[in-house]
Amino acid sequence: MKLQQIKVNENNNETVLFANDQFNAQNATLVLAFGERTFLEKSRPYHKLKSIYPTAQIVICSTSGQISNTNLVENNLVATAIILEKTKIKVSEIDILLNSDLQVLGNTIKEDLMSEDLKSILIISEGSFINGTELINELISQTKGDVPIFGGLAGDEYNFEKTIVGLNNDASPGKIVAIGFYGDAIHFGFGSEGGWSDFGPEREVTQSDKNVLYKIGDRFALDIYKEYLGKYADELPGSSLYFPLSMKENAKSEPVVRTILAIDEENKSMTFAGNIPVGSMVRLMKGNFDKLIEASYNAAAKIHKNQNHEPELALLVSCVGRKIVLGNRIEEEIEVVKEVFGDKILVCGFYSYGEISPTLNKVACELHNQTMTITTMYES
């Protein structure tokens, strides 16, 4: 595996941030390019990237901030180019604005990507229209839960207006891209941690429709939420990122975190990035600087503990909510990952509207919110 990372400004001028010796851009296999939606719409960087990496599969994704090898980057594109020397990849893309049936996505991925030597799938999905839980369930169904899946939902800074993704083209709304990695040479490590603290009583969901939550107990969900938010209530839905929801589907389930995408004042409901089933138990959560940063360290440490080989690349997908809460301390959660893996690893990634990563109990993947998810790669 050979790697290069560049930064591209709004005038499409690039700066090399990292490059292995003997990296040849002409041989790049895959390019992962992250930038804010408004930046991508203005600069339209695909043709620039294609001129640098002519034979690569190029994925472009809008974000709420880009993670480079050393820090957080804003108002610039960060593109990480990968030369896979022993590993094949295949790519697939669908447009859910043309067909919202996620089974079509599942069938397309099955036809385009499934084979006996499929090792893992990277999903880069639009984050505005998708129900993340249904996306995950369809992917698990089509892969029979045997293939680890990682990635995330695109972001749109703090705007929540629209997200855009592109495969071998400039990014546009509604796109979901899947990349399959094949063969025994490629190795992955997965870790995810939240670091949020529960507060307030645990309550039962009594009325919901998929990812739309109407009632908790005998009260409208939005009324309860506003009561807890206090002065932050006027800033919804953006202020909800300070106070995500912890959800357990049943008494034996591990809690997962859910982020609000939208509110409906008329129906007093809240729309989340993943499903909130009737009968599940929910609690509000709040962030603590040190615990959030420690969670990023722990996610990296779990991978490091379980791998015998030093990874070459780490893809970090962290939540926009963490970025808001951590504020000017945000780079610390990137720095602690580098602290665990050392200077030899290249770090890339983005701040998202939802994170996709396997869980420790060997589930192929789970939709996470408000977490730091880390995927490491190396070729043997």
pLDDT tens, position by position, 291-337: 999 999 999 999 998 888 889 999 999 999 899 889 899 999 999 99
Amino acid identity for residue 331 in this structure: E
At 239 the pLDDT is 80
pLDDT at 361: 59
Listed ranges 115-124, 229-238, 256-265; the one with the highest mean pLDDT: 115-124
Q: pLDDT tens digits, residue range 78-95? A: 999 999 999 999 999 999
- Binned at pLDDT 50, 70 and 90, residue 363 comes out as low
pLDDT higher than 90, residue 9: yes
Q: Is the dihedral of CA 305, 292, 123, 271 positive or negative?
A: positive
User: What is the tens place of the pLDDT at every residue in 145-196?
Assistant: 899 999 999 999 988 889 999 999 999 999 999 999 999 999 999 999 988 8
Q: What is the pLDDT of residue 233?
A: 86
Stretch among 53-67, 108-122, 248-262, 343-357 having the lowest mean pLDDT: 248-262
Asked if pLDDT for residue 362 goes beyond 70, the answer is: no
Q: Which region holds residue 137: left if phi is over 0, alpha if psi is between -120 and 50, else beta? A: alpha
**What is the pairing mode between strands 118-125 and 175-182?**
antiparallel
pLDDT at 130: 86
Output the CA angle 253-256-258, nearest 5 degrees: 140
pLDDT band at 77 (very low <50, low <70, confident <90, very high): very high
Mean pLDDT of the 227-234 span? 85
For position 82, what pLDDT does the model report?
98
End-to-end CA distance of the chain: 9
* pLDDT greater than 80 at residue 359: no
Query: Is 99 a residue whose pLDDT tops 90?
Result: no
Q: What is the pLDDT of residues 258-281, one digit of tens each?
A: 888 888 999 999 998 889 999 999
Query: For residue 347, what pLDDT band results from cuts at 50, 70 and 90?
Result: very high
Integer Cα distance of 176 and 155 in angstroms? 13
Give the residue among 143, 144, 165 at the shortest CA–CA distance from 156.
Answer: 165
Sign of CA dihedral 302, 306, 309, 311: negative
What gap in Å lies between CA 39 and CA 77, rounded to an integer?
A: 8
Question: Is the distance from CB of 159 to CB of 210 less than 8 angstroms?
Answer: no
Whether 360 shows a pLDDT value over 70: the answer reads no
Q: What pLDDT score was predicted for residue 251?
A: 81
pLDDT band at 128 (very low <50, low <70, confident <90, very high): confident
CB atoms within 10 A of CB 140: 18
Kindly report the average pLDDT of the chain as a whole number: 92
Q: How far is CA 109 from CA 92, 133, 180, 270, in A?
A: 6, 17, 9, 31
Three-state secondary-structure class, residue 135: helix
- Which residues pair with residue 352 across a beta bridge? 319
DSSP structure class, residue 254: P
- Polymer length of the chain: 380
